[in-house]
Amino acid sequence: MRRRVIVIKASWMRKLQQVVAEFAGTDDWINTKLVAALLRKHDDSYVRIGEAQNIPEYKPLGGCIEEHAKVIKEGRKGYAALVVKEDDYEKILYYAIKHLEMKRRKQETQTPQIPST
Q: Give yes or no for a contact between 17 and 10, defined as CB atoms under 8 angstroms apart.
A: yes
Reported confidence tier of residue 16, pLDDT bands at 50, 70, 90: confident
Q: What angle (nearest 5°) sits at the alpha carbon of residue 89, between those of residues 87 and 94? A: 145
Supply the pTM of this predicted model: 0.84
Domain ranges within the chain, ordered by starting residue:
4-110
| Whether residue 31 has pLDDT greater than 80 | yes
Single-letter amino acid, residue 47 = V
**pLDDT tens-digit series, residues 95-117:** 999 999 988 887 777 666 666 65
CA dist 57 → 60, 69, 96, 98, 100 (Å): 7, 23, 11, 6, 11
For 49-94, write each residue's pLDDT tens digit: 999 989 999 999 989 999 999 999 999 999 999 999 999 999 999 9
